[in-house]
Amino acid sequence: MIISPSDRIGKVKTYYFATKLAQIAQMNKEGKQVINLGIGSPDQLPPTAVIDKLSEASKGSDVNKYQSYTGLPLLKEAFANWYRRHFNVTIDPTKEALPLIGSKEGIMHIAMSFLNPGDKVLVPNPGYPAYRMTTLLAGAEPIAFDLREDNDWQPDFDAIEKEDLSKVKIMWVNYPNMPTGAKGSKALFEKLIAFGKKHSILICHDNPYGFILNDKPMSIMEIPNAKDVALELNSLSKCYNMSGWRVGVLVANQKVIQSVLKFKSNMDSGMYKPLQIAATEALSQDQSWFDSLNKEYQRRRVVVWKIMDLLQCQYDKGRAGLFVWGKVPQEITDTEAWVEDILQKTNVFITPGFIFGTNGAQYIRISLCTTVETFEEALRKIEKYIILEKSIA
């Protein structure tokens, strides 16, 4: 007997990178040695002290036990101190901080905690696909709002105000923005808070890239009374190279935290205690950690800019985050096919922008998560590809 999947599963697609990574794995099995410049999974190690702390804590006699759904008080206090130190934001660690097993999981928790069938959610176009997919899984309707290069990849509030917002419950935003790298600002965050208050919409700010190639890290919680209408997700994945460790946090008012906790407590049994102890150590790192991290990303980005130049893509050198976002030449009418042609002929994978929404269709994205030497090898392969294509033409 074959059991049919649920209707909600039929509404979503398998995550693009899950499919693409399977294709790349098969190509590698065939000996093609693909250079993957797609996904933003940091290749460098976390701080040495963090690894040592994990190793040390793993030897404890009680660490194999279930942990609290709300996280160790030590970790919540560390997050509160981190927000105070970096953003001058005061958080009550007992009521306003909820550690998460990764912030991507937190996006799902938020959707399931607040959305009902018939509700609507404003999702950015382009934007992280999880905002749209979790909305659909929760039975609600995603409503795309445009982010455009000529508006510095910021919401056009005048255009959004013309829509029927009566059923909109949540708005997802993300600055520094993924995939474009556009930075946030006090003025933008003030507009978002005012918009949320005016329309009784929960502003959900996803903030994992704040310290990557960004000279002014910001939190939406810096805006006065932001907690009345906004929440923020943060993560150790990018800024401490801990993506596979799955440690994030939700910062919000007590009512929001309690609502999410109801759902979360039915989904997991707490985070591994040594991970929480190690995360506490990560959050205590000083500015020298970020300086060292960004120095390496700056070296890598210079080579990626050369790749973009070779492909005749337009890009902004003033962006933040783990990626370089480039607009493809006008003559490229099908970016997905172009990227696939490059993959098949060079064994170099670049992310096509269409996966982030229709407004990304004429763009590509390159991750900074590989070595300078590997980028230089990719540059040589693509240069040969360009020469070959010109000779054929």
Return the H-helix or E-strand segment holding 348. strand 348-349
CATH 3.90.1150.10 corresponds to the domain 7-45+288-392: yes
Name the residue with higher pLDDT: 35 or 6.
35
- Work out the average pLDDT over 110-130: 97
Average of per-residue pLDDT across 108-117: 97
Q: What percent of the chain has pLDDT over 70?
A: 99
What pLDDT band is residue 14 in, cutting at 50, 70 and 90? confident
pLDDT at 336: 93
Amino acid 8: pLDDT:
80
| Cα dihedral: 312, 315, 317, 321 (round 10) | -120
Convert the pLDDT of each residue in 284-323 to its tens digit. Answer: 999 999 999 999 999 999 999 999 999 999 999 999 999 9
Cβ proximity of 378 and 35 under 8 Å:
yes
Of the candidate CATH numbers 3.40.50.1000, 3.40.50.2300, 3.40.640.10, 3.50.50.60, the domain formed by 63-285 belongs to: 3.40.640.10
Query: Which residue(s) pair with 363 in the sheet?
Result: 327
Instruction: Provide the pLDDT for residue 96.
Output: 98
Tell me what pLDDT residue 392 has. 73
Give me the mean pLDDT over the 56-65 stretch. 91
Of 43 and 10, the one with more pLDDT: 43
Report pLDDT digits (tens) over 242-279: 999 999 999 999 999 999 999 999 999 899 999 999 99
Reported confidence tier of residue 29, pLDDT bands at 50, 70, 90: very high
Q: CA–CA separation, 124 vs 128, rounded Å?
A: 8
Tokens of 44: 């460098």
Q: Are 305 and 324 in contact (CB under 8 A)?
A: yes
Query: Does residue 237 have a pLDDT over 90?
Result: yes
- Whether the predicted pLDDT of 31 surpasses 90: yes
Q: What percent of the chain has pLDDT over 90?
A: 87
Q: Measure the CA angle with vertex 30, ends 29 and 34; round to 5°.
A: 75
Taking the C-alpha atoms of residue 217 and residue 123, their distance in angstroms, rounded to an integer, is 23
Tell me how far apart the terminal alpha carbons of the chain are, to the nearest angstrom: 55
Q: What angle do CA 141, 143, 145 make, to 5 degrees?
A: 165
**pLDDT per position as a tens digit, 318-352:** 999 999 999 999 999 999 999 999 999 999 999 99
251: which strand partners? Answer: 97, 232
* Residue owning tokens 């069938």: 117
Residue 43 pLDDT level (bands cut at 50, 70, 90) = very high
Quick check: 2 pLDDT over 80?
Answer: no
Instruction: List all residues 6 or more positions away from 28 whose beta carbon is below 8 Å from its beta carbon.
Output: 34
Residue 177 has pLDDT above 70, yes or no: yes
Q: Which two tokens stand for residue 71?
A: 């996280």
1 has pLDDT over 60: no
Q: Supply the pLDDT for residue 378.
A: 97
- The candidate with the shortest Cα–Cα distance to 148, out of 333, 358, 338, is 358
Partners of 280 in the β-ladder: none
In sequence order, what E strands does 26-96 have? 35-36
Q: What is the mean pLDDT of residues 73-98?
A: 98
Lowest mean pLDDT among 63-72, 157-166, 175-184: 63-72
Q: What is the pLDDT of residue 393?
A: 59
Beta bridge partners of 248: 100, 235
Cα 35–Cα 18–Cα 182 angle in degrees, nearest 5: 75
- Rounded Cα distance between 82 and 45, Å, is 21
Task: Please determine, for residue 12, whether its predicted confidence score (pLDDT) is greater than 90.
Answer: no
Q: What is the pTM of this model?
A: 0.94
| 123 vs 7, more confident | 123
The per-residue pLDDT for 21 is 83
Going from the C-alpha of 213 to that of each of 181, 296, 321, the distances in angstroms are 10, 10, 6
The domain ranges of the chain are 7-45+288-392, 63-285
Q: Mark 124-134 as b/e (b = at least 16 C-beta within 10 Å).
A: bbbbbbbbbbb
Q: Is the pLDDT of residue 20 over 80?
A: yes
